[in-house]
Chains A and B, each alone.
Chain A
């Protein structure tokens, strides 16, 4: 498909607006928390608006771009919105908006709010930068900022558990970041500064050992963030430690950013033809398949709800990596759309988990018997998202799994269908008992429960939760409507495979 380049000032605004929001947090905190909330809402909504505004153009084959700054005599900071980036930016900014509104309620009586909001906004800024980065150095800059400046959010609670989780997080992420840096330097050395297009930066004429080294550096580096086993260690600790609205974005976007990095490396740095020639993707597929199954098995055993959800994230991101690794058009579309679908489904689940902690002080699965009577809306949202996660039609998860399954058959690898179904079955095993207990089990006597006897949450938290749950329905039922993530994902896959 012919793509036409259009320079657009909106592209840098997508990350400058959240930065502006972060800067304004501190002075506004002194004025009034209300004004601060409104300002933050406007900033994130505008960012999401920008992300949405790119969609029609991108679907028509336009690529928006901006040359921002000359970093060194040879390298520009260059932003570029293609279908892949537009999809990721859209998902991130909309989920962020929901998480922000939820935060306004959730964080109202927490400590150090201005720090939380400032870094929450910065984190969105870097995510948008990652989504719209047009060359490797720009990508690296935003990716590293985003990895490291998340640390204050992970340790926000400042409890010993949070500090330990933070240390683990930063060590994993730094090692991953170093590998990515090496890969980027090596790529730049071999090929110079090049735009991330589907043509690929590296070519088959280069030394194959070097190409393999670069490939595995990219995969291992981004794999830490994407939680490919055995590099997943930080995920189950960081999620329970972080505040719930941030857990939602951590799971939905941060981990997915690792997958997004792998996609950029696979589709834009190497290109599918070169990778097919190098014959490395099947190893990545094996790793991803193992991740899907093992993480799901581990999730079954977790009693801490957020921890269970964290393992579920690892498993689900394994699907995405698997879809990419199969190197087929349908599978790729499935992987891409799963990034968006998973973000809202897992976002819903984490927001529910946050409400359970906030309103009734329950963190463990075993305590949830009968909770749906006290929090009917919350648990309804949980049930919808859980069903979506398992892949029940017509919810969001079904769409991605449908395309992943088609893709597996398409590339003649039907054995992976077993992984796909196994993962879904295990998802049912680790999610449905929660729903069952919440609705059908008798609540334990009050004395055994926590002293907090809250009920349904205030609207600031309930509305984003319901919207997120509704989105998982819409993303499934209306998946084929143009402008939905599926259309972007299919376009991106089509461009990659030259269809």
Chain B
């Protein structure tokens, strides 16, 4: 066996080791621990890059832990969806770099090492979740990232943060329980935990009710994680109150665990061909459409910038769920591509908003008026993010709108294409409010004009992300060349 599949282990273990050692390395030395965390993510990113090049050249591959072959052993699997590890590493690096100044500023010094430790743990969970080929490990990694997520929301130690984290914890725990229960059901029916194996054995199994039960449990569990309407209620507070780099990770990536989980579920059940998924698809499409509109509707009435961004995440997950539920190849491509692109865009928005809050100390639109002149680069980055998220061509957000609308026509449900396009108009309303406040309205606090541009450690991630928001739209064929074969393979059992 060639040496390179071992990188698959490195991708999971490197951030984990980094996380465990962070409090030891960085006790009382917040700068050192930041560098340590960056180094750990650097190693991970190199490994991930290597793997992505491999998957682009040779297609999907597996790695059997300790040489035990599945279904007995633990399988790590790297396919085109696994290429999202690349995005996770990129956002992880940028969020950690952003934290370099931010964490020191917002957190008590003794907590900073734990903050980095939690961030790395969270990223470990995300990476593991994507590359595992085994249902139980899927659950384990999901718990790693959820638990570290709860702690990260509460990390600032403010009372309101604790409340938000608690709400997040309760909803998250219920969803985890549902997922665990469903995995148990699948195991008892098929006697296997390996996903490919479960799919194969489910196909042979006659009884449909346990499979239905498992499907329902998994779907509901992942929907809560994805914060789709009406189980979104934990999201706005948690994402708005967390420190901004955490918000970027939570909104950009952690929410997508629900989506990627749904994708995995679909992969299993499409391949198994035992159940008719039309009902679930219809539910997802409708919930997606409602989420788009409701997310936008709530966001319009917010004053707090980060709260708006948090509600915007609900709308965007709505897009993705709609794409999944349409179950047409275009729709699925749109949904998958938006998993990546929304991560980039939302990270741009949260990090630039974070930079504004860091410099000015204000966080409502009213207070932040006139910030565009004081922090031109940050505000331009935020505007690019805003243009991108409402899907103006040729930015990154447009691809999703284009493909999902095409998917709606393809699935013979053009109504949802219309709903999608006009739902985006609502989203535009509050981003216009934001841009108006930053650029065109007279400053509420005159001293805001004296604020200087964000420090370099924040500016660099923001600029990189904003550039990517543009580039990923113009060079959309790069992510699409990964996604199209994966989607085609996934839908192959449907004959589409």
Spell out A's residues near B (CB within 8 Å).
69-73, 77, 137, 140-141, 144-145, 148, 152, 155, 158, 163, 166-167, 170, 174-175, 178, 181-182, 185-186, 188-189
| In the bound complex, CA of A145 to CA of B393 (Å) | 7
Could you tell me the distance between the alpha carbons of A45 and B162 in the complex, rounded to whole angstroms? Answer: 61
Expressed in whole angstroms, the minimum distance between the Cβ of A172 and any Cβ of chain B is 11
Q: Is B5 an interface residue (CB 8 A)?
A: no
B361 within 8 A of A: no
Residue pairs across A and B with Cβ atoms less than 8 A apart, 9 shown, are A144-B392, A144-B393, A148-B392, A158-B442, A166-B436, A181-B405, A181-B421, A189-B406, A189-B409
Q: What's the Cα separation between A481 and B409 when bound, in Å?
A: 49
- Please determine whether B393 and A140 come into contact, CB atoms closer than 8 angstroms: yes
Encoded as 1 (CB less than 8 Å from any A CB) or 0, chain B from 424 to 456 comes to 110010001000100111100000000000000
Cα A148 to Cα B397 with chains together (Å) = 15
Q: Is B29 an interface residue (CB 8 A)?
A: no
- Is the beta-carbon distance between A186 and B474 smaller than 8 angstroms? no
Q: A148-B392, A181-B401, A185-B409 are in contact. Are A73 and B425 (CB under 8 A)?
A: no
Chain A residues whose C-beta falls within 8 Å of the C-beta of B441 in the assembled complex: 158, 163
Task: Give bound CA distance, A141 to B428, whole Å.
Answer: 17
Judging by beta carbons under 8 Å apart, are B393 and A182 in contact? no
Least CB distance, B416 to chain A, in whole angstroms: 12
Q: Shortest distance in angstroms between B421's beta carbon and chain A's nearest beta carbon?
A: 5
With an 8 Å Cβ cutoff, the count of chain B residues facing the other chain is 32
In the bound complex, do residue B405 and residue A182 qualify as a contact, i.e. CB atoms below 8 Å apart? yes
| A145 cross-chain contacts in B, Cβ below 8 A | 392-394
Whether B410 lies near A70 (C-beta < 8 A) is: no
Within 8 Å by CB of A141, from B394, B414, B475, B484, lies: B394
Q: How far is the CA of A181 from the CA of B403 in the complex (A)?
A: 12
Distance, CA A71 to CA B440, complexed state (A): 33
For A69, the chain B residues whose CB sits under 8 A away are: 474-475
A170→B386 CA distance, assembly (Å) = 15
* Contact indicator B476/A71 (Cβ below 8 Å): yes
Partner of A152, one of B418, B439, B480: B439
Least CB distance, B407 to chain A, in whole angstroms:
9
- Find the B residue at minimum CB distance from A147: B392
The distance from the CB of A216 to the nearest CB of chain B, in whole angstroms, is: 13
Q: Does B402 contact A (CB under 8 A)?
A: yes
Q: Which residues of B contact A152 (CB under 8 A)?
A: 439-440
Closest 4 CB pairs of A and B: A141-B393, A189-B409, A185-B405, A178-B421
Q: CA A438 – CA B418 in complex, angstroms?
A: 52
Are B432 and A73 interface neighbours, CB within 8 A?
no
Residue of B394, B428, B441, B484 with most chain A CB atoms under a 10 A cut-off: B394
| A68 → B minimal CB distance (Å) | 10
Chain B residues with CB under 8 Å of A182's CB are 405, 417-418, 421
- Tell me the bound Cα distance from A181 to B401 in angstroms: 10
B residues near A170, Cβ cutoff 8 Å: 428, 432
Residues of B contacting A144 in the complex (Cβ-Cβ under 8 angstroms)? 392-393
Question: In this complex, what residue of A is CB-closest to B401?
Answer: A181
Q: List B446-487 residues whose CB lies under 8 Å from chain A.
A: 474-477, 480-481, 484
Q: Which among B402, B442, B475, B484 is the interface contact of A185 at CB below 8 angstroms?
A: B402
Collect the chain A residues with CB atoms within 8 Å of residue B442's CB.
158
Determine which of A72, A166, A178, A185 lies in contact with B476 in the assembled complex, contact meaning CB atoms within 8 Å.
A72
Given contacts A144-B392, A189-B410, A73 and B484 within 8 Å (CB-CB): yes
Contact status A174-B425, CB under 8 Å:
yes
Which single residue of chain B is at the shortest CB-CB distance from A162?
A: B440
Assembled-state Cα–Cα distance A155/B433 (Å): 13
Q: With A70-B477, A73-B477, A174-B425 as given contacts, are A148 and B436 in contact (CB-CB < 8 Å)?
A: no
Whole-angstrom distance between the Cβ of A410 and the nearest chain B Cβ = 39
Instruction: Indicate whether B61 reaches chain A with its CB closer than 8 angstroms.
Output: no
Is there an interface contact between A73 and B410, defined as CB atoms closer than 8 Å?
no
Q: Are the C-beta atoms of A185 and B406 separated by less than 8 Å?
A: yes
A77 vs B474: C-alpha distance when bound (angstroms): 9
The answer to whether A72 touches B436, judged by C-beta atoms less than 8 angstroms apart, is no
Asked if residues A72 and B425 are in contact (CB atoms below 8 Å), the reply is no
A72 to B393, CA, bound (A): 12
A148 — nearest CB in chain B belongs to which residue? B392
Given contact pairs A145-B392, A178-B424, A182-B405, A163 touches B436 in the complex (Cβ within 8 A)? yes
* B16 at interface, CB cutoff 8 A: no
Given A71-B476, A163-B436, A181-B405: A148 and B421 interface contact (C-beta under 8 Å): no
Docked-complex contact B406 and A73, CB < 8 angstroms? no
A71 nearest in chain B by CB position: B476
Kindly state whether residue B399 has any CB partner on chain A within 8 Å: yes
- Write the chain B residue with the least CB distance to A181: B421
From A143, which residue of chain B is reached at the shortest CB distance? B393
Q: Is B68 an interface residue (CB 8 A)?
A: no
Q: Assess whether A73 is in contact with B405, with CB atoms less than 8 Å apart.
A: no
Q: Which residues of B contact A167 (CB under 8 A)?
A: 432
Q: Which residues of B contact A141 (CB under 8 A)?
A: 393-394
With an 8 A cutoff between CB atoms, is B387 at the interface? Answer: yes
CB-based contact A158/B440 at 8 Å: yes
Q: Are B393 and A186 in contact (CB under 8 A)?
A: no
Give the nearest-CB partner of B475 in chain A: A69
> A178 — which chain B residues lie within 8 A by C-beta?
421-422, 424-425
Residues in A whose Cβ lies below 8 Å from that of B475: 69
Q: Which residue of B lies closest to A140 (CB)?
A: B393
CB atoms of A71 and B392 under 8 A apart: no
CA distance A148 to B399 in the complex (A): 18
Instruction: Give the nearest-CB partner of A69 in chain B.
Output: B474
Chain A residues in 8 Å Cβ range of B394: 71, 77, 141, 145
Least Cβ distance of A128 to chain B in Å? Answer: 16
Query: Nearest A residue to B474 by beta-carbon distance?
Result: A69
Q: How far is the CB of A146 from chain B (nearest CB, A)?
A: 11
A152 to B440, CA, bound (A): 8
Cα distance A186–B441 in the bound complex, in angstroms:
39
CA distance A148 to B432 in the complex (A): 11
Q: What is the CB-to-nearest-CB distance from A154 to chain B, in angstroms, rounded to a whole number? A: 10
Could you tell me the distance between the alpha carbons of A72 and B394 in the complex, rounded to whole angstroms?
A: 11
Q: Are B428 and A155 in contact (CB under 8 A)?
A: no
Q: List, in ascending order, chain B residues with CB within 8 A of A140's CB.
A: 393
Residues of chain B with a CB closer than 8 A to A77's CB = 394, 474
* Alpha-carbon separation in the docked complex, A41 to B394 (Å): 28
Partner of A72, one of B401, B409, B410, B480: B480
User: Chain B 363-398, CB within 8 Å of chain A: the 1/0 string?
Assistant: 000000000000000000000000100001110000
A185 and B425 contacting across the interface, CB-CB below 8 Å: no
How many angstroms from the CA of A189 to the CA of B406 in the assembled complex? 6
Report the separation of the CA atoms of residues A170 and B392 in the bound assembly, to the nearest whole angstrom: 13
Kindly list chain A residues whose C-beta atoms are within 8 Å of the C-beta of B417: 182, 185
Contact of B387 among A71, A72, A148, A155 (CB under 8 A): A148
In the bound complex, how far is the Cα of B424 from the Cα of A189, in angstroms? Answer: 20
Closest to B387 in A: A148
Q: Nearest B residue to A115 by beta-carbon distance?
A: B439
Q: Which single residue of chain B is at the shortest CB-CB distance from A182?
A: B421
Residues of B within 8 A of A72 (CB): 399, 402, 476-477, 480
C-alpha spacing A141/B414, complex, angstroms: 22
- B residues 141-171 near A (Cβ < 8 Å) are none
Contacts of A186 in B (CB 8 A): 409, 414
Tell me how far the C-beta of B480 lies from the nearest C-beta in chain A, rounded to whole angstroms.
5
Give bound CA distance, A181 to B425, whole Å.
12
Q: Name the B residues within 8 Å of A181 (CB-CB).
A: 401, 405, 421
Query: How many angstroms from the CA of A77 to the CA of B441 in the assembled complex?
Result: 37
Please give the distance in Å from A127's CB to the nearest CB on chain B: 16
**Complex contacts, B399 vs chain A, CB 8 Å:** 72
Contacts of B474 in A (CB 8 A): 69, 71, 77
Complex: A188 Cα to B428 Cα, angstroms: 25
A71-B394, A73-B477, A73-B480 known; A188 vs B422 contact (CB < 8 Å): no
Given the known interface contacts A145-B393, A181-B421, the answer about A188 and B406 at a Cβ–Cβ threshold of 8 Å is yes
Cα A71 to Cα B480 with chains together (Å): 10
